[in-house]
Structure 1
Amino acid sequence: MKRLRGWDAVLLYSETPNVHMHTLKLAVIQLDDLGGARFGVEELRTVIHSRLYKLDPFRYELIDIPFKFHHPMWRENAEVDLDYHVRAYRADAPGGRRQLDEAVGRLASTPLDRNRPLWEMYLIEGLAEGRIAVLGKIHHALADGVASANLLARGMDLQQGPQLDRDSYATDPAPTRGELVRTAFTDHLRQIGKLPSVMRYTAQGVRRVRRSPHKLRPELTRPFTPPPTFMNHMIDGTRRFATATLSLDEVKQTGKHLGVTINDMVLAISAGALRELLLRYDGVADHPLLASVPVSFDFSPDRISGNYFTGVLVALPVHIADPLERVRAAHDAAVVGKESNELIGPELVSRWSAYFPPAPAEAMFRWLSNKDGQNKVMNLPISNVPGPRERARVGGALVTEIYSVGPLTAGSGLNITVWSYVDQLNISVLADGKTLGDPHELTDAMAAAFVAIRAAAGLPPELTVVDTAMAP
């Protein structure tokens, strides 16, 4: 048994009937290498079963504390029913990219069952060109982007050679009610003992902000009231999903040519695309949007669970029409956001979240999710996560693409997540049913925004958009 960290628990408390807090990982798999051998749901269950011993979070079962006296705990070695957790699903004909994305949207529209380990996996069949896809739904309370990438690496054959698989593992007995209450009381005393160090960390951050020579810069003042937009409203429980793939080498080349990072390029591409949609749906794009960009503070390659990140608020320059000026503005905004985050302390929110009382936190998030209006913190989250640098295999079959996207949050009907894989920059967009009828509007706009940046920079547009998936 182990206690959920405060930040993990907050991600659990923030889930409501219309705000589902699972993340999605999608792998497209080419079956040609199997020489005609079958790879169906039973074969996938066999692969997962043989690796459960190194996929620890897949065996975690959530245990609530009586009277919500403390954050829940993970029972670390629970029974796993793979007939339930690993299922088959068939995409609509003709099985192209759009049909796959639509299937993912439907599967993403239902929350995970908290009475079981908080993950599901779907083998999606019916795809064109001899391919299948594997979709993983993993609750955000289990893992952040870095941990998910490490977990994905453990679940795939990233290295050739024999696998050290096991056929079984021991399960732990369920704790008694008395044990849960006693451990909760003991842990509360431990948290009280840590409070002085949390207060010191906070005071140090406040002093750094006060002493910073940049503290009077207008752009360092975080605009905690983002502008109202078509994407900001009470979201519904429907999820729609869309993907696109860009050339990672071309994104790197463009960033190097302009003197900015890949993350700056992702922000600039997103800003250009969102500008197009704002003009289409709101008729105006005259104020920067406020994006929450997750930044990890634990990059350990061995970490496969937990959330060690903070959301850096970045002013997204959707109000700038010129593509190159937009790139420079995105770079400057990212620098300012990171600077502000470092000054106040990247672990500030994470450390204080340990003291959030469960029942009031859940009530607050229920109220926020049912409030029809503007998200008061941000317009949308935008993530950029480095994925595997080597080609992966599942059961011997080659993984040709990997996509990932985080959840929607209360009052924000869009999420943009970029996940790199070998030579690809893979874009995923998640929307609710009210925000976009077809989220490919946004992925198409992102591809067009990248083409516009390269054209403005005098770089050739060839091969900018890579359609590695099945035909539309």
Structure 2
Amino acid sequence: MAQQVSAFDAQFLNFETATNLAHIAALTILDPSGRPGGALTREDLIALLKRRLHLAPPLRRRLVEVPLGLDHPYWAEDREVDFDYHVRELALPPPGDDHKLAVQVARLHGARLDRGRPLWEMYLIHGLAGGRVGIYTKVHHAAVDGVTGAEVLAAVMDFEPEPAAVPAASEAAAEPQEAPDAVEMVIRGVARVLDNPFALLRFVAEAVPRLDEVPFVAQLPGVGLVSRFVRGLGGRDAEPLPELPRMVVPRTPFSGPISRHRRFAFGQLPLDEVKRIKNAFGVTVNDVVMAMCATAMRRWLAKRDELPRQPLVAGIPVSTRGQAANGTVANEVLLTMTSLPTDVADPSERLLSVNRSMGLLKERLAAAPAAWLLEFSQAMPAALSALAARSAFRIASRTGAAMNLMISNVPGPQTPLYVGGARVTALYPMSVITDVSGGINITVFSYDGRLDFGIVTDRDMVPDVWDLIDYLRDSLAEYGALAGRARPRTRRARRPEEPGRENFPQNR
């Protein structure tokens, strides 16, 4: 039987509009110079996908809606995938420099996926400078998160130039999973509606003490006080939670409703240099990345005389790597928030401020894992949940966003990868911007000794997105110089029994 879309994943479908798009993507750059047989063709790519499609189940799944919207949709697997539709080909006009490539990819990233088909598309892009080839791949966030999205890409990649032979799909795996018929879907939907009051009670009992962690809700006056009061009612048996500061989201040029148009910029930075800085200051790689982002945003805002007195608020996806509450495998990522110290003038203190903020967030998650947030989506009927998601986005876009921007750091392999014999020289991630999360998303993917940055922005809010790549490079150079003069800090040793760090795979 086909899996049902989890209540949490359904939110990625519910909030999607003509401007708020919910797919994530990657721009893979290939060097085909050493590839036997010459340049990689669309036919080569399709043949590779056909051989390995069973290794990437999300590429076979399409949505089946429940009648009357009584329940969340189901995933059904297509017997045959229309590769002629899903795999496309284009060429850049000469000269195919990075800026022209970014313009083309931004256009592709601003188009919605067809919900009548499996929720992915792939574009083979020719004409890049230096004989390189690009592959732009996008998949809906309801089907994958950042980590599983990388796993989907890995299904078509190899660790050696010679493509590896993969075992054929078993008969059980090859048999497509079909969605229930309409009658059964309605019966299941009614049963979920009847169970919802109990789900609501379970949610309230677990969620109210931690409302100060919920994006947008945490900004409301009095929420922190209510959370602390309810936690206090638990008495001595209640597990203490580190207090989170109330974060005020300042107004910026990239706050407010976004358009349907995107801009994109990308760049690489050496991971070894980031690790050297990390060691000198006694922090983590992720702390250095966050501090670099804070520095870049501070400089961008100051240049426009728009730097707020308060720190920015950044949304941080956190990997939970578990099971959804209904037993089906789902997105295993939750959104948390932290302050981004753009208000701190001294770069060293800015880095240490990031370290303190991220440390507090980790302690909070270690004390009580954030998986309870998955219950939030299950606490109301599917139809009401969809309406609530869309209404919340409209209200937030008018009254103030839950955060200023999104920053994500996804760990990747540190050895070379190949696609059809062509070496992968870069893998730039691309993610989501929305009315609620702000008009900038900075996502980082570590690969083969480098950090690959992908920055997606609203076209009108941030027209000069490439400046942010330059500022990130400048920030790395600045921290590199400071690292030579920094006095080493002793990091707190982790106790063997201390949980929670697995929620931050980038904490290395």
TM-score, structure 1 length as denominator?
Answer: 0.88
Among 413, 416, 419, the residue aligned to 2:445: 419
Does the Cα contact within 8 Å between 2:439 and 2:461 map onto a contact in 1? yes
Residues 153-194 of structure 1: CA deviation (Å, up to 9, x unaligned): 222113664233569944455643212212323455666666
1:110-160 deviation per Cα after TM superposition (whole angstroms, max 9, x unaligned)? 110111111101101111112111111110011111211222222211366
SS at match of 2:19: coil
Give the AA of the match of 1:400. T
- For 1:128, the equivalent position in structure 2 comes to 129
Tell me if structure 2 keeps the 8 A contact 1:78–1:172: no
Question: Which amino acid in the other structure matches residue 320 of structure 2?
Answer: F
Specify the alignment match of 1:64 in structure 2.
65
With 280-289 and 445-454 compared, the bigger mean Cα shift is at 280-289
The structure 2 residue matched to 1:383, chosen from 401, 408, 411, is 408
Q: Report the equivalent of 1:183.
A: 188
1:430 is matched with which residue?
Answer: 456
Pairing 1:34–2:35 present: yes
Residue 360 of structure 2 is aligned with which of 336, 353, 375?
Answer: 336
CA distance in 1, matches of 2:178, 2:357: 51
The residue number in structure 1 matching 2:166 is 163
- Counterparts of 1:185-224 in structure 2 under 5 Å? 185-188=190-193, 198=203, 201-202=206-207, 210=232, 220-223=244-247
How far, CA to CA, are the matches of 2:77 and 2:329 in structure 1?
A: 11
* Correspondence 1:405 to 2:430: yes
Separation in structure 2 between the aligned mates of residue 434 and residue 422 of structure 1, nearest angstrom: 34
How do 1:447-466 and structure 2 match up within 5 A? 447-458=473-484
Could you tell me which amino acid in structure 2 is paired with residue 141 of structure 1? Answer: A
Q: Note the alpha carbon deviations across 1:291-338, whole angstroms, 9 max, x for none.
A: 0111111179xxx97311221211000011111111001111111222
Counterparts in 2 of 1:192 and 1:57: CA distance versus 1, 3 Å: farther
1:313-328 correspondence to structure 2 within 5 Å: 313-328=337-352
1:207-286 maps to which residues of 2 (within 5 A)? 210=232, 220-223=244-247, 225-286=248-309
Pair 54,445 (structure 1): closer, same or farther in 2 beyond 3 Å = same
Amino acid at match of 1:271: A
CA distance in 1, matches of 2:205, 2:167: 46
Q: Which amino acid aligns with 1:319?
A: D
Kept after mapping to 2: 8 A contact 1:31/1:131: yes
* Cα distance in 2 between the residues matched to 1:391 and 1:50: 21
Work out the CA distance in 2 between the residues paired with 1:379 and 1:18. 17
CA distance in 1, matches of 2:231, 2:275: 33
CA RMSD of aligned residues (A): 2.7
Would the aligned equivalents of 1:68 and 1:358 in 2 still touch at CA under 8 Å?
Answer: yes
Alpha-carbon distance in structure 1 between the residues aligned to 2:355 and 2:178: 52
Percent sequence identity over aligned pairs:
33
- Structure 1 residue aligned with 2:377: 353
- How far the C-alpha of 1:397 sits from its partner, in A, is 1.3
Of 313, 318, 330 in structure 2, the residue corresponding to residue 290 of structure 1 is 313
1:141 corresponds to = 142
Greater CA deviation, 390-399 or 32-41? 32-41
Amino acid at match of 1:183: R
**3-state secondary structure, aligned to 2:314:** strand
Alignment match, 2:88: 87
Match of 1:4 in 2: 5
Letter in 2 for 1:226: V
Distance 2:277 2:345 in 1: 19
Q: Counterpart of 2:407 in 1: which secondary structure?
A: strand
Alignment pair present for 1:44 and 2:49: no
Relative to structure 1, is the Cα distance of residues 172 and 309 closer, same or farther in structure 2, using a 3 angstrom cutoff?
closer
Offset at residue 248 of structure 1 (A): 0.7
SS where residue 401 of structure 2 aligns? coil
In 1, are the aligned partners of 2:278 and 2:285 still within 8 Å (CA)? Answer: yes
2:329 and 2:264 mapped to 1: Cα distance? 25
| Cα distance change of structure 1 residues 233 and 203 upon mapping to structure 2, 3 Å threshold | closer
Partners in 1 of 2:291 and 2:270 — Cα distance?
16
Alpha-carbon distance in structure 2 between the residues aligned to 1:283 and 1:266: 23
Q: 1:423 to 1:254 in 2, by over 3 A?
A: same
SS of the residue 2:408 aligns to: strand
Distance in 2 (CA, whole Å) between partners of 1:37 and 1:222 is: 57
CA contact 1:402–1:426 (8 Å) conserved in 2: yes
* Alpha carbons 1:312, 1:338 under 8 Å: kept: no
Contact 1:291 1:381 in 2 (8 A): yes
Residues in 2 aligned to 1:413 and 1:335: alpha-carbon distance in whole angstroms: 26
Unpaired segments ≥5 residues, structure 2: 211-226, 233-237, 487-508
Residues of 2 paired with 1:253 and 1:280: CA distance? 29
* 2:9 partner SS: helix
Q: Report the counterpart of residue 333 of structure 2 in structure 1.
A: 309
C-alpha spacing 1:183/1:359, structure 2 compared with 1 (3 Å) = closer
1:49 is matched by which residue type in structure 2?
A: K
Cα distance in 1 for partners of 2:241, 2:65 equals 45
Offset of residue 388 of structure 1: 2.0
Query: Partners of 1:438 and 1:93 in 2: how far apart?
Result: 22
Cα deviation code 1:52-86 (max 9, x no counterpart): 11110111111111111011111134542100000
- Contact residue 58 and residue 119 of structure 1 kept, 8 A: yes
Aligned residues: 453
Change (3 A) 1:262 1:69: same
Three-state SS of the structure 2 residue aligned to 1:129 is helix
2:470 is aligned to 444
SS at match of 1:152: helix
CA distance 1:156–1:2, shift in 2 (3 Å): same
Q: Secondary structure, in 3 states, of the residue corresponding to 1:398? A: strand
- In structure 1, C-alpha distance between the alignment counterparts of 2:249 and 2:186, rounded to whole Å: 42
